[in-house]
Chains A and B, each alone.
Chain A
Amino acid sequence: MSSRKSKSNNIIHAECLSQVQRILRERFCHQTPHTNLFGVQVQYKHLIELLKRTAIHGESNSVLIIGPRGSGKTMLINHALKELMDIEVVSENILQVHLNGLLQINDKIALKEITRQLSLENVVGDKVFGSFAENLSFLLEALKKGDRTSSCPVIFILDEFDLFAHHKNQTLLYNLFDISQSAQTPVAVIGLTCRLCLSEDRSVREVLQRHFNISKNLRSLHTLLMLALTRVTVSHPFLTAADLMEANQLCSMDSKANIVHGLSVLEICLIIAMKHLNDIYEEEPFNFQMVYNEFQKFVQRKAHSVYNFEKPVVMKAFEHLQQLELIKPLERTSANSQREYQLMKLLLDNTQIMNALQKYPNCPTDVRQWATSSLSWL
């Protein structure tokens, strides 16, 4: 009786939990604009004021929002635009143009995109633009025709702004800022970038109005929390510090060390030999022959722990390491060069090797000792 009761209880409990999990997952995964803003309220207020002034007063403005990746730049602007569009009078009277530096890779494409988003095409009909120059003068004429009081303000949002600065002559940026600084159609140019300085800008008069800097990356926090969330089960209904620690470990796991865990003993031995070579020759590059010799020295001394493999077998193991990109050739492999003598570099740090060895399952003691000191066989 009581057991049945607790069972049904458990089921309800499980449903609740899965629901909670679902909601939380949604919150972490999707960038919902209606979540609250933390830490950027001041900047948000500035931005919204600025946009309102463009939308209502027809004042041209330009803003550059700077912040490292995952610091909420896009969320900030989306949030602001949403609020702006909620104002009824404004939403009818505003045009938005969204551009992304990764998509509009040159000014020509960007211009076409602007024309499309401003739906100026209907004026042109189905006519394909003759040339870039025609397109530019067409668009400039369109924007020039307006004035502060009568034409619709246009908000340009340039994501990955720094990439636009790489376009030839920065024609697009110059013209956008030129419009914003002259009595033409009111525009607000909002650039989003993670670059901190556009010092390369030669002729574009940059109006760096605000710097938004939020330090930590929200996205990584979200992944961390997601991982922790998956650990919530019926028997374990609440997140604990231990869960978070574990999730954190998962996140911050060293990927190379994990690869090392899956290597054979022979390959481990080769890596240890390389490490010793690095220590002896102070980071100078090595070749297969050197590694093989080092390995031979070890095997001859401690023959009982490691089987003395043939040279071609060792070579095979060496090539496997190269495929795993744990070692890297200095020059490109040419067909006629002897593979034994090609110069290589190890892509593992000493600490990494030692840590990996600690956790390596069934590692022969001799090998472990050899790893700590190159002279241990003496």
Chain B
Amino acid sequence: MAPYHTRQKIRQTYSWIGRPLLDRKLHHRTYTEICVKIEGCSTPVHIQVGQFVLIEGDDDENPYVAKLIELFEDDFELHSKKRARVQWFVRFSEVPAHKQRLLGRKPDAQEIFWYDYPACDSNISAETIIGPVQVVALAPDEVIPVDLKNEKIFFVKLSWNEKKFRPLSPELFAELEKLQESSPKCQKSVEAMTKNIESPAWTTTEQVVKRIESSHSASKSRQTPTHPVVPTARKRLELGSFPRTPHTKISQPTSQASLDSSGRTKRKVNFSETTSQTKRSHLYRSEMSSPALKIPEKTGKVQPFCAKDVKKASPKCCMILRTRVPALKTTQINEERTLTPVKGGQRPSVPSVVLKPENIKKREAKEPETQNQATATSHRIRRRSSLLTLNRIRQQLRVLENNKSDQEEEEFLPTAEVSDSSSEEEEASTPALSRRNTRCISRNLRPFLKPSIQTPSKTPKKMAKSRTPRCATPQIRSRNLTTPEPASMLEEARLRLHVSAVPESLPCREQEFQDIYSFVESKLFDRTGGCMYISGVPGTGKTATVHEVIRCLQQAAQANDVPPFQYIEVNGMKLTEPHQVYVQILQKLTGQKATANHAAKLLAKRFCASASPQETTVLLVDELDLLWTHKQDVMYNLFDWPTHKEAQLVVLTIANTMDLPERIMMNRVSSRLGLTRMSFQPYTHSQLQQILGSRLKHLKAFEDDAIQLVARKVAALSGDARRCLDICRRATEICEFSHQKPDSPGLVTVAHLMEAIDEMFSSSYITAIKNSSVLEQGFLRAILAEFHRSGLEEATLQQIYSQHVALCMMEGLPYPTMSETMAVCSRLGSCRLLLVEPSRNDLLLRVRLNVSQDDVLYALKEE
């Protein structure tokens, strides 16, 4: 993706377009359009309220995506007076890693999510806007159109509220489907037709705004059928659409069809209705809270597509239930916080009413979904068409630079503003972890909040809380260089032979797979717990087999063949300290964070005390031996929990040593482990051959003899599949290296493999001795002679030195001085060819060989 122009690289100037509208309470001047002029580029880019924009972040390649809600100038802001209010979108990469799996599928590269999370600061400096971008909303089960795989277009399917991915809202899809046929293609053609840089982009985006917007308002209006006042959110439509270009005509009818229910008359009512404050504020409250409360139940049935996700997420069901009440509380807090600025200015008519949870429930119960969609659309068409004409007039007027248009503008703007704030409030309602806040901080030093906010003390506190590394999304910078496809057969082979490549099947471990599978499956069906100990030398496929079992079981669970379960994996090597295992388990189980002691208590409570029916937990503990502590309490707990009836915990443990339970565990621990043990035997040569064969299926890169050779060699030594793969990979390198002609890469032959094996298994000591200097070799000879003389395996430097001098005299060489000999000795010591005492002992330091004497003799004789 081409890097975007950011302020660091290219200077951009921002200027307002149009006359400002003064907001007297806040001392703001609101605008509808901003002009971005890029230095070195003649055509300035116009960005209007309602458009989708890219916003500068800490990653230049992936700027943030947002929808522009409001543009205003704020004189109180010190750093930049041009401000903007936005509705964020998140990329998949911005979703915390541990939550990403909630999506349950691979996200498309261009997919973004509506960020349904109010605690995130939406007030930004307008000068962080990079430029317009196109965003298209899609139904969740729709595939992203191939012909639109353009980098400048993003697709929205789901919304993300820091807890769950949800469809944008159920009502949206009906309308979206109607829109679907026309919009992308139309836009495409429009884009092709016009060579203008910006207009096609913003037209589409604007439509999307409308779509999203309308769906939101539709859902809202449903919830409040009895209320005389219609929500104001859709007012933005007019605002966004009035500077319409002629190109958009093509897509016009569809967008009209999708428009919302409220007619113009209703809008007027609303406009004049600002007096009924209390009622309206109640209404807003209910709207705000309802999506958060309702949708978890709703999505399951409304969206067949979501079934998978829901099922996956269902292990967390208990957690959700538990957190629901606190969530409500946070609503209140958020409410207060987000409402204040509104009270301060934009909509002075709405008093800040503190939300009572009972109130919401009552509302919700009272309001059934009865709104008729059909009438809504007809209304909307009418309104839309009238709007359209109005816009055209407006546009012409603007072209002529007629000042009369300002009057109209003023007529529209107030409504638009009201709608903005209301939608904002709606956004601000859903409680969640305030991760987005953290991101806002890191984005740049953009000031968060307007100084007009009355409760400054609250916000910083919130920030501070959210600034834990857990909430941050650590990520390695992504590359903008595409990985080339393997060019030759050897490269392809190398790719497949890499240890990280995941094979489709695990050959030669069918029996083990079956055993583990049936063990876990039976526990799942019986709703009991159990332990299993799996041992085997490194590289025998223990972890891979267990992962495969879990994968199969998860698939089966999705197909309802086995009861659903939750899977947790911990690795002893990835812990800094054995007790950290509690922390990790708890975090993966519930997302909670606690200290090791507290986590242990919580887990014990969960597994031993709770009598509530829950689903089974499968826990994989890799590198079990690292969890050894003096008291063995960690192991004891791990094996004790499954013995409780309520725990429903299956523990699979993996370690290298076969007799670990007998060797290091106390009786009471090993007895709890039980007798379900399995040991993975090292691979035999035929098995290794089979593994290599399956990896290199349909790829003739190796001679058959060569594969057999490496399989036999490795099997004779260790049976480590990793080693085997590494040798083969090295052999392909050697092969490639030796064939200089690129057109004939050739097969990997036995000779290449022999070379690789020699490299891997040859003793580095012997090469080192062979390559050492004459003096070093002489010193080694002297050591051997001294050992031979004394009959001991140890000698002082003095003894060796006299031997060395004698040897040199015998051969007629000048003998070295003591200092030189010392230097030689310490050099050999640093290579660990010799084991030496610290050199402060001087002449008396004792020297030993770290290699066998035969090896030294062999290496010295060679030349």
Chain A interface (Cβ < 8 Å from any Cβ of B): 45-46, 49-50, 56-60, 66, 68-69, 89-90, 92-93, 95, 107, 118, 120, 122-125, 127, 129-146, 148-154, 169, 171, 174-175, 178, 180-185, 194-197, 203, 205, 207-211, 213-217, 252-257, 325, 328, 345, 347-352
Residue pair B842, A123 in contact (C-beta under 8 Å): no
A171-B576, A325-B842 known; A125 vs B438 contact (CB < 8 Å): yes
Closest B residue to A136 by CB, please name it: B576
Residue pair A197, B441 in contact (C-beta under 8 Å): no
What are 24 A-B residue pairs whose CB atoms fall within 8 Å in the complex?
A46-B737, A56-B484, A57-B484, A57-B491, A59-B498, A66-B764, A68-B830, A89-B481, A130-B468, A141-B98, A151-B479, A175-B574, A178-B573, A181-B500, A196-B831, A203-B623, A205-B720, A208-B760, A213-B768, A252-B819, A253-B817, A253-B819, A256-B818, A351-B802
A325, B481: Cα distance in complex, Å: 63
Residue pair B467, A127 in contact (C-beta under 8 Å): yes
Question: Which residues does chain A contribute within 8 Å of B483, judged by CB atoms?
Answer: 56-58, 148-149
Q: In B496-528, which residues have CB < 8 Å from any A CB?
A: 498-502
Closest A residue to B580 by CB, please name it: A133
A208, B97: Cα distance in complex, Å: 33
A56-B484, A171-B576, A347-B844 known; A144 vs B97 contact (CB < 8 Å): yes
A127-B469, A132-B576, A195-B832 known; A92 vs B481 contact (CB < 8 Å): yes
Closest B residue to A217 by CB, please name it: B827
A-B contact count (CB 8 A): 222
Cβ-based interface call for B442 (8 A)? yes
Which residue of A68, A124, A133, A257 is within 8 Å of B827 (Cβ)?
A: A68
A171-B576, A215-B772 known; A328 vs B476 contact (CB < 8 Å): no
Which residue of A93, A137, A209 is within 8 Å of B730 (Cβ)?
A: A209
Q: In B511-567, which residues have CB < 8 Å from any A CB?
A: 538-539
A207, B58: Cα distance in complex, Å: 37
| Minimal beta-carbon separation of A208 from chain B (angstroms) | 7
Which residue of A124, A150, A178 is within 8 Å of B478 (Cβ)?
A: A150
Residue pair B476, A196 in contact (C-beta under 8 Å): no
Residue pair B583, A60 in contact (C-beta under 8 Å): no
A313, B653: Cα distance in complex, Å: 75
Question: Which residues does chain A contribute within 8 Å of B479, judged by CB atoms?
Answer: 58, 93, 150-153
Residue pair B844, A328 in contact (C-beta under 8 Å): yes
Q: In B563-619, which residues have CB < 8 Å from any A CB?
A: 573-577, 580, 583-584
A134-B469, A211-B759 known; A69 vs B819 contact (CB < 8 Å): no
Question: Which residues does chain A contribute within 8 Å of B575, judged by CB atoms?
Answer: 133, 136, 171
Closest A residue to B814 by CB, please name it: A252
Residue pair A210, B759 in contact (C-beta under 8 Å): yes
Residue pair B830, A194 in contact (C-beta under 8 Å): yes
A145-B476, A151-B476, A208-B760 known; A197 vs B843 contact (CB < 8 Å): no
Closest A residue to B767 by CB, please name it: A213
Residue pair B798, A349 in contact (C-beta under 8 Å): yes
Question: Which residues does chain A contribute within 8 Å of B633, judged by CB atoms?
Answer: none
Residue pair B833, A138 in contact (C-beta under 8 Å): no
Residue pair A143, B476 in contact (C-beta under 8 Å): yes
Question: Which residues does chain B contribute within 8 Å of A154, judged by CB atoms?
Answer: 476
Residue pair A125, B441 in contact (C-beta under 8 Å): yes
| Minimal beta-carbon separation of B72 from chain A (angstroms) | 28
| Minimal beta-carbon separation of A185 from chain B (angstroms) | 5
Residue pair B442, A123 in contact (C-beta under 8 Å): yes
Which residue of A49, A122, A208, A211 is within 8 Å of B733 (Cβ)?
A: A49
A138, B500: Cα distance in complex, Å: 22
Cβ-based interface call for B629 (8 A)? no
Cβ-based interface call for B457 (8 A)? no
Interface-centre pick from A137, A149, A153, A171 (highest chain B CB count, 10 A): A137
Which residue of B58, B501, B760 is within 8 Å of A183 (Cβ)?
A: B501
Closest A residue to B722 by CB, please name it: A205
A214, B93: Cα distance in complex, Å: 46
Question: Which residues does chain B contribute within 8 Å of A351, judged by CB atoms?
Answer: 801-802, 805, 815
A45, B818: Cα distance in complex, Å: 40
| Minimal beta-carbon separation of B802 from chain A (angstroms) | 7
| Minimal beta-carbon separation of A53 from chain B (angstroms) | 8
Cβ-based interface call for B626 (8 A)? yes
Residue pair B817, A349 in contact (C-beta under 8 Å): no
A89-B481, A129-B469, A146-B476 known; A352 vs B58 contact (CB < 8 Å): no
Closest B residue to A146 by CB, please name it: B476
A132, B486: Cα distance in complex, Å: 40
Which residue of A125, A184, A213 is within 8 Å of B442 (Cβ)?
A: A125
Which residue of B500, B576, B802 is within 8 Å of A133 (Cβ)?
A: B576
Which residue of A89, A136, A205, A216 is within 8 Å of B574 (Cβ)?
A: A136
Question: Which residues does chain A contribute within 8 Å of B482, judged by CB atoms?
Answer: 149
Residue pair B469, A138 in contact (C-beta under 8 Å): yes
A129, B467: Cα distance in complex, Å: 11
Q: A142-B474, A211-B759, A349-B843 are known contacts; what are 8 more A-B pairs with Cβ within 8 Å?
A: A69-B827, A93-B481, A140-B574, A151-B476, A171-B574, A194-B831, A208-B760, A209-B760
A298, B329: Cα distance in complex, Å: 101
Residue pair B842, A328 in contact (C-beta under 8 Å): yes
Which residue of A45, A68, A256 is within 8 Å of B768 (Cβ)?
A: A68
| Minimal beta-carbon separation of A186 from chain B (angstroms) | 9
Residue pair B819, A345 in contact (C-beta under 8 Å): no
A194-B830, A203-B573, A328-B844 known; A124 vs B469 contact (CB < 8 Å): yes
| Minimal beta-carbon separation of B538 from chain A (angstroms) | 6
A136, B575: Cα distance in complex, Å: 8
| Minimal beta-carbon separation of A141 from chain B (angstroms) | 5
| Minimal beta-carbon separation of A312 from chain B (angstroms) | 28
Closest B residue to A196 by CB, please name it: B764
Question: Which residues does chain B contribute within 8 Å of A58, judged by CB atoms?
Answer: 479, 483
A68-B831, A213-B767 known; A152 vs B573 contact (CB < 8 Å): no
A77, B314: Cα distance in complex, Å: 51
Q: In B767-820, which residues have CB < 8 Å from any A CB?
A: 767-768, 771-773, 798, 801-802, 805, 815-820
Residue pair B764, A211 in contact (C-beta under 8 Å): yes
Closest A residue to B573 by CB, please name it: A174
A57-B484, A133-B577 known; A123 vs B500 contact (CB < 8 Å): no
A123-B472, A215-B771 known; A182 vs B500 contact (CB < 8 Å): yes
A2, B419: Cα distance in complex, Å: 102
Residue pair B573, A196 in contact (C-beta under 8 Å): no
A207, B722: Cα distance in complex, Å: 9
Interface-centre pick from B574, B576, B765, B802 (highest chain A CB count, 10 A): B576
Cβ-based interface call for B480 (8 A)? yes
Q: In B274-316, which residues have CB < 8 Å from any A CB?
A: none
Question: Which residues does chain B contribute within 8 Å of A129, judged by CB atoms?
Answer: 469
A365, B743: Cα distance in complex, Å: 82
Q: In B816-839, which residues have CB < 8 Å from any A CB?
A: 816-820, 827, 830-833
A32, B626: Cα distance in complex, Å: 45
Residue pair B767, A123 in contact (C-beta under 8 Å): no
Cβ-based interface call for B205 (8 A)? no
3 cross-chain pairs, A with B, having the tightest CB-CB distances, nearest first: A142-B474, A254-B817, A215-B771
Cβ-based interface call for B495 (8 A)? yes
Q: In B631-654, which residues have CB < 8 Å from any A CB?
A: none
| Minimal beta-carbon separation of B532 from chain A (angstroms) | 21
Cβ-based interface call for B475 (8 A)? yes
Q: In B441-499, which residues have CB < 8 Å from any A CB?
A: 441-442, 467-470, 472-484, 486, 491, 494-495, 498-499
Cβ-based interface call for B656 (8 A)? yes
A371, B759: Cα distance in complex, Å: 55
Q: In B77-105, which residues have CB < 8 Å from any A CB?
A: 93, 97-98
Residue pair A183, B502 in contact (C-beta under 8 Å): yes
A284, B533: Cα distance in complex, Å: 59
